Structure 1
Amino acid sequence: MSEQRALFDELGPRARRRSRAISGGVILLLAGLGALAALKLAENGQFSAQKWSPLFNPLDSQFTTVWTFLGGGLRNTALAGGIAIALSLVIGTVLALARVTSRRWYRWAIVGVMEFFRAVPVVISIFFASRFLPTIGVDLPLLWYLVVGLVLYNSIAIAEIVRAGILAVPRGQTEASAALGLSGAQNLWLVVLPQAFRLMLPSLISQLVIVVKDTALGFIIGFEELLRRGEIAVQTLGNPLQMYLLIGMLFFVVNSLVSALAQRVESGMRQRNGSRQSPPATLRTGFLRVPALRS
């Protein structure tokens, strides 16, 4: 008979009372701090309708103008994020494959480049792209300077995620594919990568959300994404607290949609994989199920 083991002993009556008292004290402290903050905001006129109405009241005369202006910034954010995500996925996968399949004599060059760009803050990558590319005659719209900076950083992060996924695939799958006569390239594309993407999808989702959030750094080069449009609107409306609160809410919605979409894809992949569950001694590929050789 198996025994269930708990990580911690159950709290006794005295410990439960102490825990409830501490929790109640923390709640009261937070409530007091919140009330104090609300009082200070009210004293500074931050709850006046003039500051909130242009953002949240459809009957306000400025509401349509403000949201049209912010909508353009949101569209630019989505465009920059979408392009950066697509390019980072492609380049990151190529870099991961290059690192995994590279020979010892030139592997140091690939690793060195990846480690350099991974150590450089993304804001410096964006600023460097906007200053360096024009000096060599590459004049691009501000959107592409932002995309280049984001891709330089995030493709390296995605490459490490992909490499970890590749190394997590059981070695028996590679041996079975070799026994069936698949080449090294066929093994990577048909056997290893499809399984690696399923393993690394949760980490990949987190990185894609980071890409979308990092588009807000476009303001340092003057690209009018959502945050930059908000800063411009604040100069007219004079409500930075309310505007940045709204921008934070919009980023929360966008990132939640990205996470929900990625999780839906992950769930669909798991359901398809579970509905066609193969026997234990099976070589799994992205397109077929091949019985592995038995000794």
Structure 2
Amino acid sequence: MTNVLYDVPGPRAIRRNRILGVITVLIVAAGLAFVIYRFAVTGQFSQEKWRIFSFPLVQKTILEATLSTLTAFGLAAVFSLILGLLLSIGRLSDRAWVRVPTTLFLELFRAIPVLILMMIMYYGLPPLGFTFITPLVAVVTALTLYNGSVLAEVFRAGVQSLPNGQSEAAYAIGLRKSAVMRLVLYPQAIRAMMPVIISQLVVVLKDTALGFIVTFHELLYLAKFYGAQVTYGSPIIPATIVFGAIYVALCLLLAALAKWVEIRSRRSLRVSKPVDVQKVELQVNEI
């Protein structure tokens, strides 16, 4: 018997896997080579189509659009986490008059597409007197409502996935439910669901691209604008490559941040100090 969940492949299986790996790499390389060849044949790498991105003013505008995208993402991410945490608390409430409206709110905004929410915020609310709705406000509000509702279910699933003994032990030492949620359940749930939370934040970052529909000057809006410049040969493909690379870089940075947070969390668990019993008893008495 082996101490792993699968049998170690033999010589024939290893040789077969290597052959399949080489074939896969060759197919992917051939596909990329064909795409690059078609780009070259159709003049997508010509100086005329790329010249627009060499202007300092264009580069400055791209930097400003990147900052606008990061601003919308940062605000939407923070507000989504806060809203998701509050909604999850209401979702887990023992009181029906709190739990039922919260559930209806969650189901409503999880069912509405983000693009429609943005259009409602920007085009539907100003005629009703909400004149303060700017493109940034519309984008951030729509992303917050949708992703906050999704994160609320993530937090709830994390709390309910914990063993019942966690809450039972906390109640046994005299903690109230608010203290149990704050000191025992939520810290563990957030740590356990961190990969899912980070993945949802990546969705928030990518969904900022939908802001172009409400004239929010983010990366996709700028890519569409520069790609339609007939004077420079309508550089749609170059604009897609440039702005797509920026999106990929931002997502990779966020993924690296998620990996760093995960490593730090595991390290803090390994090097955590023993629990001070007297301090815990003091906190319980204070509560």
Give the alignment's TM-score, normalised by structure 1: 0.83
Partner of 1:268: 264
1:97 aligns with 2:89: yes
Partner of 2:69: 77
Q: Deviations over 1:231-253 (max 9, x none)?
A: 22223342111111111111111
2:159·2:185 contact (CA, 8 Å) conserved in 1?
A: yes
Partner of 1:41: 39
Between stretches 255-264 and 92-101, larger displacement belongs to 255-264
Partner of 1:68: 60
Distance 1:113 1:25 in 2: 50
Partner of 1:244: 240
1:162·1:197 contact (CA, 8 Å) conserved in 2?
A: yes
1:200 aligns with 2:193: yes
| Residue 209 of structure 1, CA deviation | 0.9
Partner of 2:155: 162
Give the number of aligned pairs: 278
| Residue 216 of structure 1, CA deviation | 0.4
Partner of 1:182: 175
Q: Which one-letter code corresponds to 1:249 in the other structure?
A: A
Q: Which one-letter code corresponds to 1:255 in the other structure?
A: C
Q: Deviations over 1:119-177 (max 9, x none)?
A: 22221121222223213211221100011111111001110111111112332221222
2:223·2:240 contact (CA, 8 Å) conserved in 1?
A: yes
Distance 1:253 1:34 in 2: 20
User: Which of 136, 151, 159 is the aligned partner of 2:128?
Assistant: 136
1:233 aligns with 2:226: yes
| Residue 79 of structure 1, CA deviation | 0.7
| Residue 97 of structure 1, CA deviation | 0.6
Distance 1:91 1:6 in 2: 40
Q: 1:5 to 1:231 in 2, by over 3 A?
A: closer
Q: CA RMSD in A?
A: 2.7
| Residue 74 of structure 1, CA deviation | 0.6
**Unpaired runs of at least 5, structure 2:** 283-287
Partner of 1:114: 106
Distance 2:49 2:26 in 1: 30
2:158·2:189 contact (CA, 8 Å) conserved in 1?
A: yes
Q: 1:214 to 1:115 in 2, by over 3 A?
A: same
**Unpaired runs of at least 5, structure 1:** none
